[in-house]
Chain A
Amino acid sequence: MGLRPRNRFIDNFSMSGMTDIVFLLLIFFMLTSTLIAPNALKMLLPSRGTPEMQTENRIPTVTIHSNTRIEVDGQTVQFENLALILESRLADQPDPTIKVVTSPQVSVGDAVRIMNVAAKRNYTVVLKQL
């Protein structure tokens, strides 16, 4: 009888295909875990020790009132013009810094909108409560 079983077990198992996939996944997750930089803004409060008095008059103060009115050094400005005003004030500063003074009633979203303008231009923002 020349009958042979049709389904024969393959007795040599190769793992190399799976190892390739696992390696690829490993590299992918290694890269993504190191490249993730969370979206966030640094929050700085004025510290008592800094020699703020000497440079105080050169740091523009952006004040946000509870009715979302914005002032730069006491002068009311429109949000659209804020970037231009800050750029002209801080053009020749080596370490540009602005002070953001907010009323306690201002929403976080409105304050972040102002801080975005500064963050985009790499200005240091110091927060203060009105």
Chain B
Amino acid sequence: MSGMTDIVFLLLIFFMLTTTLIVPAAKDVELPESNNQTQASPVLVITVARDQSVYIDDQTYPMQGLEGVLQQKLEPYGPTPTIRLNADRDLHMQEVFTVLTIAKRNRYKVILGTKPLSNQVES
């Protein structure tokens, strides 16, 4: 039976790691609140903080060179990869539109990261 136990252990470790790695938080931002959920699985997380600094995988990038960085990072993921944009709730939409325009030009799908509503005052 030890062979099966080995396999079960390996599977257990695999699923434990995938559950914890699902949302890698590059930088802490105060996300906007929404209860909407989506099944789309993003391959990359872009975090834009309140001071307009852009983070991808713990590294900071200038907004100007973002398109090149994204093209390079998303090249292995096929023609229409999904990216998750974690924008601070106090950030202006200007920066969101900058990222959306880049995404549209390169045919990336964008989902906006949110956190569950803290109080149910939604109409």
Contact = CB atoms under 8 A, between A and B. Distances in A.
B12 A38 contact: no
Interface in B6-46: 8-9, 11-12, 15-16, 18-19, 22-23, 32-40, 42
B110 interface: yes
A12 interface: no
Interface centre among A23, A30, A106, A108 (most CB of B within 10 A): A108
Contacts of B115: 39
Contacts, number: 146
B14 to A, nearest CB: 9
A33 B114 CA distance: 19
Interface string B61-105: 000000000000000000000001101111111101100110110
A107 B92 contact: yes
Interface residues of A, number: 43
Nearest to B38: A40
A116 interface: yes
Interface residues of B, number: 49
B15 A82 contact: no
A42 B123 contact: no
B34 A108 contact: no
A108 B97 contact: no
B100 to A, nearest CB: 5
A108 B87 contact: yes
Interface string A23-67: 101100110110011111111010100000000000000000000
